[in-house]
């Protein structure tokens, strides 16, 4: 095995051990009427510091939605934001690619996930479809027959990514 890979594996193992050992003593049983579990004050700081780089990577993936869908239906949607969009859609697909807030493997980032859009049509605020789309998402979706594709970026997630470097998480999606 290449020495650089060995160093990466060793450093990762140390980080995992630190995470496990830092959270165990931080949870103590409270002696209250409801016997709730409480965390020590330093728990959130330690965990936040250890997960900081992971959250920045997840924030990058939040920005993009790119996928291909397979399933019967039709549709086209063009959006500058959730309020400024137009289209007509009706499909139920299995999607492969980057998606948000759905998925089999990870509910936050779908690699393989399903998406349904019942019959929706309209423009601007009258458009009621696209529940899975972000408020500030800019992109397009096209689905014809049995195959479709989607590409979009979320402007709010770009802001969340950059503000995350100052430990500001207005999207409240960091672990």
pLDDT at 5: 61
Beta bridge partners of 94: 70, 114
Query: Domain of 144?
Result: 65-155
Per-residue pLDDT tens digits for 87-125: 999 999 888 888 765 444 445 556 787 888 888 888 877
SS3 content of the chain, % helix, strand, coil (to 5): 35, 40, 25
Q: Which of 118, 114, 89, 88 is nearest to 101 (CA)?
A: 114
Arithmetic mean of pLDDT over the chain? 76
Claim to verify: residue 71 and residue 102 sit in the same structural domain: yes
Print the SS3 string covering 53-110: HHHHHHHHHHHEEEEEEEEEEEEEEEECCCCCEEEEEEEEEEEEEEEECCCCCCCCEE
Instruction: Report yes or no on 82 lying in a domain.
Output: yes
* pLDDT given for residue 167 in this prediction: 86
Q: Does 170 fall in a domain?
A: no
- 15 and 37 part of one domain: yes
Q: What's the pLDDT at 9?
A: 64
Q: Is the same domain home to 41 and 93?
A: no
Q: Are residues 12 and 46 in the same domain?
A: yes
Residue 150 in tokens: 């989607």
The CA distance from 24 to 19, in Å, is 9
């Amino acid at each position: 095995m290449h020495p650089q890979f060995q160093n990466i594996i060793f450093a990762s193992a140390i980080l995992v051990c630190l995470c496990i050992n830092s959270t165990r003593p931080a949870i103590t049983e409270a002696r209250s009427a409801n016997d709730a579990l409480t965390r020590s004050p330093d728990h959130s700081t330690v965990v936040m510091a250890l997960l900081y780089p992971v959250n920045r990577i997840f924030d990058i993936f939040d920005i993009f939605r790119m996928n291909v869908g397979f399933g019967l239906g039709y549709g086209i949607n063009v959006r500058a934001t959730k309020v400024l969009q137009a289209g007509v859609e009706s499909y139920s697909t299995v999607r492969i690619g980057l998606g948000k807030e759905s998925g089999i493997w990870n509910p936050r980032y779908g690699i393989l996930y399903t998406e349904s859009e019942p019959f929706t049509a309209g423009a601007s605020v009258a458009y009621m479809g696209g529940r899975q789309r972000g408020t500030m998402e800019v992109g397009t979706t096209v689905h014809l027959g049995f195959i479709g594709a989607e590409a979009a970026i979320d402007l709010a997630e770009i802001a969340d990514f950059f503000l995350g470097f100052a430990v500001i998480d207005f999207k409240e999606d960091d672990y």
